Amino acid sequence: MSSTSGKSSGARGGGTRPGGEMLRGFLAHLAVEKGYSEATIRSYGTDLEQFGEFLKRSKRSLEKPERITREHVRSFLAELHRLRLTKATMGRKLSSLRAYFRYLMRHRMISVDPMATVRNPKQEKRHPQVLNVDQAVALMEAAIEPDPEGLRDLALAEVLYGSGLRISEAIGLDLNDVDSDVIRVTGKGSKERIVPLSGAAVKRIRRYLEQRHAMLGDNYAEQALFLSVRQGKRLNRRQANRIVARLGALAGLPKDVHPHMLRHSFATHMLEAGADLRSVQELLGHERLTTTQRYTHLDMRHIMQVYDQAHPRAKEDGKGKK
């Protein structure tokens, strides 16, 4: 991958990139030891290079991290405020810095962590965007041509919604990852998990696989499950985003639909139907239960209805009588 290629032409002298060898070593650590995706590593690199550019104003550099103090970090945070970045974006950038300085501390390249007492901005509580059940079904049943491309699009949507996959996980699937009614998914940190396929997804995938050969072109050895039409190669993230947006438009949905919205909808609908939080956590591949708890923003009327139906004393009239 380009961000960790280790090219030496700019490693010394005036042409070095911000962070130089230290930054490249950190990014290589994320790739090799953490197993992060190329997109994630690129994001870390961009955040740190932005901080490196900011440090130049104070005649500091990521190449000499022992000269970076908490005040430099706080000034950087003030700069992000001035640029009107969202709190979520600022938090992500600070997390990148935090991971970098932890790495330097672990390898004894610095003795004081400038991030030790720096906290992320308090985040606004925002619930994930979700489709309701009717909207999700309408998208899955969008009127689309039953040609190889259309069959692929519907199969992809069913996998995203029916199994709650991240888009990177869905487009990363190979043919041998599909086994009857389950799929083997490689998630964050290269961790594998087995996820069930819905009955609808099984049917969609089966129909798509019957026509997949028409999309291969000369790439007969391509093992990716979801292929691009023109190249016969693995579908990329941008193409997948366009597919889901197109299905949403065809279904007449009133909002722009993106792949992660289908994952959010999967989690919310599972919890609304009574699935326990731990099971949904396993299905989503979340390391922490608190991440999954974002989806517990269920409609209060639904919660009250379930409570009234399930709790043995929910309908007491206050006098000990039902």
Q: Show the beta-strand stretches assigned E in the chain.
A: 178-179, 182-186, 192-196
Active site residue 278: no
Angle, CA of 122, 125 and 130, to the nearest 5° = 145
Active site residue 255: no
- CA-based nearest residue to 116, from 104, 95, 98: 98
Given the residues 17, 42, 260, 294, the one annotated as active site: 260
- CA-based nearest residue to 70, from 108, 119, 118, 18: 118
Neighbour tally for 274: CB within 10 Å? 8
CB 167 within 8 A of CB 240: yes
CB 158 within 8 A of CB 198: yes
Active site residue 294: no
Given the residues 166, 234, 258, 264, the one annotated as active site: 166
Given the residues 212, 258, 263, 269, the one annotated as active site: 263
Given the residues 188, 207, 246, 294, the one annotated as active site: 188
Q: Kindly give, in sequence order, each residue whose CB lies less than 8 Å from that of residue 113, ignoring residues fewer than 6 positions away.
A: 101, 102, 105
* CA–CA distance, 213 with 208 (Å, rounded to integer): 9
How does DSSP assign 70-85, residue by residue? HHHHHHHHHHHHHTT-
Active site residue 322: no
Active site residue 260: yes
Active site residue 321: no
Given the residues 295, 301, 311, 321, the one annotated as active site: 295
Catalytically active residues are 166, 188, 260, 263, 286, 295
